Amino acid sequence: MSSASSAPPAAPSEPLRLMAVHAHPDDESSKGAATTARYAAEGVEVLVVTCTGGERGDVLNPSFEVPAGHEFETIEGRRAVRRLEMAAAAEALGVRQTWLGFVDSGLPEGDPLPPLPEGSFGLVPPAEAAAPLVELVREFRPHVITTYDPSGGYPHPDHIKCHEVAVEAYHAAGDGSRYVVEGGAEPWEPLKLYYNHGFSMARMRAVHEAMQGAGLESPFGDWIESRTAREIPEREATTHVAVADFFTQRDSALVAHASQIDPDGFFFAVPRDLEADVWPTEEYELADSRVPTALPEDDLFAGVREGDR
Ligand SMILES: [Zn+2]
């Protein structure tokens, strides 16, 4: 894929490409999953990039059974199981997926917080952490990149680091004087950068109220009222992508992460027809654009598609 072409991006007949950069296997299924399924179904080339192997994720599903021939006690064992799960999730979404190869930092807990484990993604120096993603951007040549906002979306060190490497790759991949790799791919300048807004308070409030209105128990009540939630600054969504037709694929992808996602838990507490009625979109925040576009948008490729320019 290292063509020497310097043709403008999205030239006629060239397929559109979307790169979704995530911290751990399962994040691609809980943040913007239906969007990736929709674009893949429309013929966009979609590549999910997973920064770490999820090696420090605990079992979060009480009904999880370790697959035959595997174990979940060691870093290597967890990595192998989560690779199986990730492959099944990518298949459910109809997308390609690849790994950056860093090691999960785990979510540090305690006061004071303990140091991050040696060798983990959170401790990798910035340029070293961004280098493999810069190279991947040059190889895959995405028109659009999605990742997390500067807070990481929630305060996991790998999510914050994921934001940092994605922003760095977005800005550096087109500059041939940076991240020079002998025999590497040609520079490539992506056109738009977005932050995922999957867990917006506006969405949770709307779904919460609709569930109460329907006499159902809402999974969001405690969270909406909590101090932590109220202290998270609301960020502005610029882009609303209609994805209700892809909720089923999203749910299949979530279930594929059997060690992490409880099929009777939080993610499945909202009836899908209610969700499709109340909140049929996934939200994004346009962080940077190299093409003209008018906000709000309903398409990550607004301004990029043939005919837009
Ligand atoms: Zn994560």
Q: How confident is the model over 115-137, as pLDDT tens digits?
A: 999 999 999 999 999 999 999 99
Classify 287 as helix, strand or coil: strand
Cβ–Cβ < 8 Å for 117, 106: yes
Written as six digits, the tokens of 91 are 């298949």
Give the pLDDT of residue 309.
55
Measure 22 CA to ligand 1 centroid, in angstroms: 7
Is 298 annotated for ligand binding? no
Measure 116 CA to ligand 1 centroid, in angstroms: 15
Cβ–Cβ < 8 Å for 95, 40: yes
Measure 240 CA to ligand 1 centroid, in angstroms: 23
Give the pLDDT of residue 228.
73
Residues 263-283: what's their mean pLDDT? 93
Could you report the per-residue pLDDT of 17-29, keeping only the tens digit for each? Answer: 999 999 999 999 9
Domains of the chain: 17-199+235-286 (3.40.50.10320), 201-234 (no CATH)
Is 27 annotated for ligand binding? yes
Measure 155 CA to ligand 1 centroid, in angstroms: 10
Residue 8 predicted with pLDDT over 60: no
Is 208 annotated for ligand binding? no
Residue 162 predicted with pLDDT over 90: yes
Radius of gyration over alpha carbons of the chain, in Å? 19
Residue 48 predicted with pLDDT over 60: yes
- The CA distance from 114 to 122, in Å, is 13
Residues 88-111: what's their mean pLDDT? 96
Residues 236-258: what's their mean pLDDT? 97
Residues 31-68 as b/e (b if ≥16 CB within 10 A, e otherwise) read bbbbbbbbbbeeebbbbbbbbbbbbbbebebeebeeee
Cβ–Cβ < 8 Å for 220, 274: no
Angle at 103 between CA 78 and CA 46, to 5 degrees: 90
Could you report the per-residue pLDDT of 180-200, keeping only the tens digit for each? Answer: 999 999 999 999 999 998 778
Cβ–Cβ < 8 Å for 170, 146: no
Residues 272-289: what's their mean pLDDT? 96
Instruction: Look up residue 269 and give its amino acid.
Output: A
Q: Which residue has the higher pLDDT, 229 or 12?
A: 229
Give the pLDDT of residue 27.
97
Measure 3 CA to ligand 1 centroid, in angstroms: 34
Task: For residue 5, give the nearest of 129, 112, 98, 141 by alpha carbon.
Answer: 141
